């Protein structure tokens, strides 16, 4: 097995952090959703949903799914939407905008 130096590892390292669906300019309703688990600062395990776009994961808050469901009830053929995020932490709000 070939061993790399720290310098080689560092220069080829890619962060695998999770973005937020609001970071995307346009989202397809046909994206596959993955279930993931994480651990909070207190060591408690929690679940969250992620969509993958170009190899990058984007978290999908439950409130986005709830809003999208209401939109799809009236517009079942919706193909694309975007998400606007306002606030931070517990005061974060997401607005789903059909495109």
The reply to whether 3 falls in a domain is: no
The string of pLDDT tens digits covering residues 17-74 is 889 999 999 999 999 999 998 888 888 999 999 999 998 999 999 999 999 999 999 9
Instruction: Kindly compute the dihedral angle of the four CA atoms of residues 73, 58, 56, 25, in this order, to the nearest 10 degrees.
Output: 60
* Domain annotation covers residue 51: yes
For residue 16, what pLDDT is reported? 65
Domain count, the chain: 1
Answer whether residue 4 is part of any domain.
no
Cα–Cα distances (Å) from 36 to 1, 4, 48, 50, 76, in that order, read 31, 30, 5, 7, 27
Domain that holds residue 69: 16-98
The pTM assigned to this predicted structure is 0.77
Token pair in block for residue 20: 């937020």
Please name every residue paired with 52 in a beta bridge, in sequence order, or none if there are none. Answer: 57
Q: Report the distance separating Cα 82 and Cα 24, nearest Å.
A: 7
Domain for residue 26, yes or no? yes
**56 within domain boundaries:** yes
Query: Is position 92 within any domain?
Result: yes
Residue with tokens 């046909």: 30
């Amino acid at each position: 097995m070939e061993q790399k130096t720290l310098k080689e590892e560092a220069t080829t390292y890619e962060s695998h952090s999770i973005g937020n669906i609001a970071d995307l300019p346009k989202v397809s309703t046909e994206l596959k959703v993955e279930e993931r688990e994480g651990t909070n600062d207190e060591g408690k395990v929690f679940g969250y949903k992620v969509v993958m776009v170009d190899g990058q994961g984007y978290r999908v808050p439950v409130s986005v799914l709830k809003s999208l469901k209401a939109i799809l009830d009236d517009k079942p053929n919706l193909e694309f939407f975007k998400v606007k995020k306002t606030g931070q932490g517990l005061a974060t709000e997401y607005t789903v905008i059909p495109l």
